[in-house]
Amino acid sequence: MKIKHIQVFVCCPGRNFVTVKITTDSGVSGLGDATLNGREMAVVAYLEEHVAPCLVGRDPQSIEDIWQYLYKGAYWRRGPVTMAAIAAIDMALWDIKGKIAGLPVYQLLGGKSRKGVNLYAHANGESIEDTLDKAAELKDQGFKAIRLQSAIPGLPVTYGVLGDKKDYFELQGNRPLPPEEVWSTQKYFALIADLFAQARDKLGTDVHLLHDVHNRLTPIEAAKLGKILEPFDLLFLEDPCMAENQDSLSVVRTHATTPLAIGESYNTIHDCREMIQNRWIDYIRTAATHAGGITAMRRIADFASLFDVKTAPHGAPDLSPVCFAAHMHLDIWAPNFGIQEYVGEGNAESLQIFKHDIKVKDGMAFVGDAPGLGIEFDEKAAAKYPYNRSYLPVSRLEDGTVWHW
Ligand code: KDG
Ligand code: MG
């Protein structure tokens, strides 16, 4: 069997998604997600110009060899563009292998380690009250883990809260240039303990609470936050500080027992190796699309398991349903799986394009038994929603200094 052709589709059913389809000479095809929010077309060019021509004619079953060929062979290793391209090819090859074997991908990984995949949902509100009303609704729907984000009084827009957007699946910053947002650590600290104190009062102790800081704090501020939140028993605190220096997390660790999660923007095992082997984190949040596909995620999960670190894959609305399907197979297999981020099944436009057999009930997802990844892509429906250039926002402090978004 040989790879016959590789196509790259870009569609925008609310969010931009880059989808790779590999077709073999026997007619079997596979899908991969290559979406890199705000830099989509760089990955498209990388795939079309530099990857696809090298793969036509190769054996699609040699997943590991193709992964190594693209990673080591290019000389230029790592980075979000390269790794999103490798990831999409890798996912599509696992999809093909499953279809050839007549097995869902989780069976190829080693089978199920659990009956379903625990999810955490998002409660985002314009005030503490609004956030907690939404959290109570999610709890009633059966979610046992909820991420809380609340607008910060005195700031026009807050990360994780809708602000001027209609819904979560709408483009962020659908404007000619990146929107700019203002950040104040002081105003954030004035709100955050109250959010979690009131959450425990209203929601009780039988629900897991989570929170994403989105890299806004310095290491010592993050340590202070971890300590302040200890009484509210979070499942995890995500991205408390930017950890380009991985040992930033050791500062947080020294002062607080609030569990830490990081990794949604990391591209390889090397980006998180030190923080895993030093046990500076509790959950690794790499995504199949941004960290090199199923092959790389399996390696990260196995490495993390040696140090009691659990997996908690990124599940934002800017990862396509193809990535979510790949995560389902990894999550149901990984012996050290922790929890999966879940923002809903997507909008009506996206559901026309991506058809899958994943069922969500009582805060848990159940992966189907279709061979491969269990996801289909409707090319005609996708063509109705062309690419729409958009950017992630840029953050500035109140004095105008550019800050971490
Ligand atoms: O593209 C960036 C988003 O995916 C990110 O801001 C979402 O932090 C995020 C999360 O935890 O879902
Ligand atoms: Mg995050």
Taking the centre of ligand 1 as the mean of its atom positions, its distance from the CA of residue 316, in whole angstroms, is 5
CA distances 161 to 8, 16, 187, 316, Å, are 32, 20, 16, 13
Q: Which atom of ligand 1 is nearest to the CA of 319?
A: 4
Q: Which atom of ligand 1 is nearest to the CA of 172?
A: 1
Taking the centre of ligand 2 as the mean of its atom positions, its distance from the CA of residue 240, in whole angstroms, is 10
Domain 108-371's class?
alpha beta
Residues labelled catalytic: 159, 214
What is the distance between the alpha carbons of residues 396 and 122, in angstroms, rounded to a whole number? Answer: 25
pLDDT digits (tens, 9 = 90+) for 343-375: 999 999 999 999 999 999 999 999 999 999 999
Q: Is the pLDDT of residue 35 over 90?
A: yes
User: Atom 4 (ligand 1): residue with closest C-alpha?
Assistant: 316
How big is the chain by its Cα radius of gyration, in Å? 21
The pLDDT of residue 161: 83
pLDDT digits (tens, 9 = 90+) for 170-209: 665 556 788 899 999 999 999 999 999 999 999 999 999 9
The pLDDT of residue 166: 62
What is the distance between the alpha carbons of residues 173 and 238, in angstroms, rounded to a whole number? Answer: 23
The DSSP bridge partners found for residue 187 are none
- Give the residue extent of every domain in the chain: 3-103, 108-371
The pLDDT of residue 134: 97
Superfamily of domain 3-103: Enolase-like, N-terminal domain (3.30.390.10)
Torsion, Cα of 246, 252, 253, 257 (10° steps)? -140
Q: Which uninterrupted H or E stretch holds 294? A: helix 293-305
The DSSP bridge partners found for residue 120 are 341
Got the DSSP string for 341-358? E---S--HHHHHHEEE--
Tokens at residue 295, please? Answer: 């092959």
Which ligand lies nearest the alpha carbon of 262?
A: 2
Identical topology for domains 3-103 and 108-371: no
Map tokens 């060899």 to a residue. 65
What is the distance between the alpha carbons of residues 190 and 275, in angstroms, rounded to a whole number? Answer: 30
Q: Is 122 in the pocket of ligand 1 (CB under 6 A)?
A: no
Q: Is 290 in the pocket of ligand 1 (CB under 6 A)?
A: no
What is the distance between the alpha carbons of residues 346 and 385, in angstroms, rounded to a whole number? Answer: 15
Tokens at residue 34, please? Answer: 């290559």
The pLDDT of residue 157: 86
Number of Cβ atoms within 10 Å of the Cβ of 231: 11
Q: Which uninterrupted H or E stretch holds 99? A: helix 80-101
Confidence of residue 164 (pLDDT cuts 50, 70, 90): low
Going edge to edge, which strands form the sheet with 394-397?
180-183, 394-397, 402-403
pLDDT digits (tens, 9 = 90+) for 85-120: 999 999 999 999 999 999 999 999 999 999 999 999
CA distances 338 to 117, 142, 234, Å, are 9, 18, 14
Backbone φ and ψ for 170, nearest 5 degrees, come out as -85, 150
User: Atom 8 (ligand 1): residue with closest C-alpha?
Assistant: 214
Alpha helices in 229-279 (DSSP H): 248-255, 273-277
User: Atom 3 (ligand 1): residue with closest C-alpha?
Assistant: 316
Q: Which atom of ligand 1 is nearest to the CA of 318?
A: 4
Q: What is the mean pLDDT of the chain?
A: 96
Number of Cβ atoms within 10 Å of the Cβ of 388: 14
pLDDT digits (tens, 9 = 90+) for 131-145: 999 999 999 999 999
